Amino acid sequence: MEQQDKFARLLGIKLEAASPGYARASLTVRPDMLNAVQVTQGGVTFTLADFAFAVASNSHGITSLALSTQLSFPGTSREGDRLIAEAREENSTKRTGLYTVEVRTAEGRLVGLFSGTVFRRSDLVADWMEKNADPGG
């Protein structure tokens, strides 16, 4: 999935682990991911958390679409930091799901606390990705 997600690829995001209702992903903060005061731009932290959320929520094979997300910033990270996002399923029904994601530095410092809600469609992830495949990808 990190190969097909071109924006995750642009950020060098790696999927490290995935199982039903769970995902772990990481990236290393590059110079071009900093904001105007040399700390990691909030969008980088969000993208990593959101990617782990997407993998975890689609892990049952049913297409799941993000409806609403929330991200708090308990800390900051800097160039060279390795960030690890761990997504867990808090609840799952046929049609909905709730996930939380913690983003930590390699040293274990919390830099992002994320929650996200999905709506599950009635089609399968595999079919949906095939139908929407990038012809050039």
Closer residue to its own copies, CB minimum distance, 24 or 29: 29
Range in contact with its own copies (rule: CB under 8 A) among 6-14, 16-24, 80-88: 6-14
CA 19 vs CA 16, 23, 55, 61, 116: distances in Å: 11, 6, 9, 11, 18
Does position 28 bind its own copies by CB under 8 A?
A: no
Number of residues that bind its own copies (CB under 8 A): 54
Picking from 60, 107, 59, the residue whose alpha carbon sits closest to that of residue 82 is: 107
Question: Please, which residues bridge with residue 27 across strands?
Answer: 83
Closest by CA position to 111, among listed 68, 135, 78, 67: 78
Phi, psi of 107 (to 5 degrees): -80, -5
Residues 78-107, interacting with its own copies (CB under 8 A): 90-91, 95-96, 98, 100
Nearest-approach distance from CB 3 to its own copies, in angstroms = 8
List 27, 52, 54, 84, residue binding its own copies (CB under 8 A): 54
Q: Residue from 60, 88, 115, 124 that binds its own copies (CB under 8 A)?
A: 115
Of 9, 12, 20, 126, the one binding its own copies by CB under 8 A: 9
Listed residue (41, 57, 62, 76) closest to 116, CA to CA: 57
Most distant CA atoms of the chain, gap in Å: 45
Q: Is 27 near its own copies (CB under 8 A)?
A: no
Cβ atoms of 103 and 114 closer than 8 Å: yes
Catalog residues that contact its own copies under the rule CB under 8 A.
1, 4-11, 31-39, 41-44, 46-47, 50-51, 54, 65-75, 90-91, 95-96, 98, 100, 110, 113, 115, 117, 119, 128-129, 132-134
